[in-house]
Amino acid sequence: MAHPPTHPAHPERVCWGCDQYCPADDLTCGKDTVRTPHPVELFGDDWNAPSEPESPDAITRSRAIEALRSVLDPEVGINIVDLGVLYELSVQAGAIRVGLTLTSPACPLGAQIQREVRARLLALKGVERVEVAEIWDPPWSAERMSDVARSALGVGA
Amino acid sequence: MSKLAARAALITVAAIALVAVFAGLARLGIPLSFAGARAGVHGPLFVLGVFFTLISLERAVALGAALGYLAPVFGLCTGLSLVTDWAPLRPAAALAALALVLVNVALCRKQASVHMALMLVGSLNLLAANAAWVTGSAVSDVVPSWLTFFVLTIVAERVELARFVAPPRAAVRALLLLSFLVAALTVLGLLGLPSSERALGLLLALIGLWLLRYDLARRTVRQRGLPRYAALCVLSGAGWLVFAGLLLVALGLPRVGPTYDAILHAVFVGFVLSMVFGHAPVILPAVARIALPFHRVLYAPLLVLHIGLLARCSGDLALVPWLRQAGGLLNALSLLAFVAGALWARRHAAASHDPNHAFGAV
């Protein structure tokens, strides 16, 4: 398969939709009505620049978020990350700070979910301290749910 | 609150529930000398000693402040005053309701919302009812307000959960309007002002239909495990609310007799107890740090509950005493079956160590 150039001189003259690289106004494949742009047009010259090597804290942060996907809101059966109640998660030298909200102040599950969050995070390698705070402002709303949560509930994404 | 205190509270609730069950059986004419003397307070035992204590315990855990636990403690005192027939302790019922009102005010201050307002209004209805009851009003006079407290509390939770599936805005407004009308209507009745029980029935039936149509349970019933079970509890409960509402519309609320029996049990067993069954596996870990892993064996008590209630209400309406008794007995058994099922599910989960079912295990 032919590899496209990473920085073509005139990306706008070509359709980049498949590996045929037809002229921009050709469109004989019938797949679309406009040509597909080159990533350099969409994201700029540094579209393929290697990202900076991640710091240990950043790696811990993404592993922490993955770990919290196993903490469920038992009422709706959706994890707290996709539910959007995880407001804040910062890592600093082995200490994690988590900010959580609840969908309602009348919900008695807060302490239970906090205990579970703490247990999951402390089980991660290199995590020494976990601090969990309750956040009530701004209130949770359904827009905070991820598409995964929406499709689990069968509501339009 | 310490784990130990919560568990002691739950054991006391269970003991009160046991007396309440036997009092109910005695009321049905099933000869049981054990609680025959308590037959007259079967309803208050369940409503104030059991259901109220569970709900206020849940709210107190949510608030997380020590003073909040006064509500369930006063609830237990009310239950114990009924069990022991010790009248000086009975005013605890009014204090319990007052404490819950204050807890709800504190929760509103944490984050105000329309569903918190509904909960607050529901607890105010309870306060009015309990104040009337401790000063001598008959159970049959205050029972519409008790019923309102439970309906509003449950509807508030469902309104909150409905946000997940975003029902039409107009539908939510309609539900709120229906609920506040229920509250207004029962307060009028409590004050002795003209109030129509038939109108109350219509409102309750519409609220039940709303839940059947728009509730989150309509979605979560398609999931598996606990969410599906909890959803079936909600939907079947909503069905009983519609049934009770329609009975009220058709027959009004006589102060005694089989119609009264059918309507009250359709609400308190069909709607409220069914919700308690569905809620327990979610709430117990949070309230008492008792992991109640879900197992499909929990469907058995739910089924027995609904079959029993069906038999009871049929017996009531067709005036067949043995059917009514059999239904009541089945309802008592459903409670026992629920406890047995929960214990069995715990043992089963301990044996299989399934981390996905171990919510509350840490």
B84-140: pLDDT as tens digits = 999 999 999 999 999 999 999 999 999 999 999 999 999 999 999 999 999 999 999
* Residue B30 Cα, gap to closest chain A Cα (Å): 38
Q: Which of B15-29 are b and which e, b meaning 16 or more Cβ less than 10 Å from the residue's Cβ?
A: ebbbbbbbbbbbbbe
Residue-level pLDDT at A55: 83
Residue-level pLDDT at B34: 73
Structure-token pair, residue A3? 């590899």
Site of tokens 């005010």? B105
Residue B136 buriedness (CB in 10 A; 0-12 / 13-18 / 19+): exposed
Contacts of A116 in chain B (CB under 8 A): 359, 362
B311-344: pLDDT as tens digits = 999 999 999 999 999 999 999 999 999 999 999 9
- Determine if the peptide bond prior to A138 is cis (ω within 30°): yes
Q: Which residue, among B154, B159, B67, has the nearest Cα to B113 in the 3D structure?
A: B159
User: Average pLDDT for residues B45-58, to the nearest whole number?
Assistant: 96
Q: What is the CA radius of gyration of chain B?
A: 19
Q: Does A115 touch chain B (CB under 8 A)?
A: yes
Residue-level pLDDT at B310: 98
Residue-level pLDDT at B360: 42
Q: DSSP characters for B194-236?
A: ---HHHHHHHHHHHHHHHHHH-THHHHTTS-HHHHHHHHHHHH
Of A106, A139, A145, Cβ closest to residue B62: A106
CB B207 within 8 A of CB B237: no
The rounded distance, in Å, linking the Cα atoms of A129 and A127 is 6
Q: Which residue of A has its CA nearest to B59?
A: A106
User: Hey, what CATH topology would domain A56-153 get?
Assistant: GMP Synthetase; Chain A, domain 3 (3.30.300)
* Residue B160 Cα, gap to closest chain A Cα (Å): 7
Q: Is the pLDDT of residue B266 over 60?
A: yes
Q: Spell out, as residue ranges, where chain A has pLDDT lower than 50.
A: 157
Residue-level pLDDT at A157: 47
Contacts of A112 in chain B (CB under 8 A): 285-286, 289, 359-360
Contacts of A107 in chain B (CB under 8 A): 62
Q: Which residue of A has its CA nearest to B362?
A: A116
Q: Does A111 touch chain B (CB under 8 A)?
A: yes
Give A78's strand partners. Answer: A73
Q: Which residue of A has its CA nearest to B1?
A: A111
Q: Does A153 touch chain B (CB under 8 A)?
A: yes
Q: Is the pLDDT of residue B161 over 80?
A: yes
Domain boundaries, chain A: 10-51, 56-153
Q: Is the pLDDT of residue B356 over 80?
A: no
Residue-level pLDDT at B359: 46
Residue-level pLDDT at A2: 61
Higher pLDDT, B247 or B359: B247
Q: Which residue of B has its CA nearest to A105?
A: B107
Residue-level pLDDT at B260: 95
Q: Does A77 touch chain B (CB under 8 A)?
A: yes
B287-315: pLDDT as tens digits = 888 888 889 999 999 999 999 999 999 99
Give the strands of the sheet with A86-92, arranged side by side. A86-92, A95-100, A129-134
* Residue A102 Cα, gap to closest chain B Cα (Å): 10
Q: Is the pLDDT of residue B361 over 60?
A: no
CB B329 within 8 A of CB B25: yes
Give me the torsion for CA of B299, B302, B303, B305, rounded to 10°.
160
Contacts of B164 in chain A (CB under 8 A): 76, 142, 145, 153, 155
Q: Which residue of A has its CA nearest to B57?
A: A108
Query: What value does the mean pLDDT of chain B take?
Result: 92
Residue-level pLDDT at A153: 84
Contact A108 B286 (CB under 8 A): yes
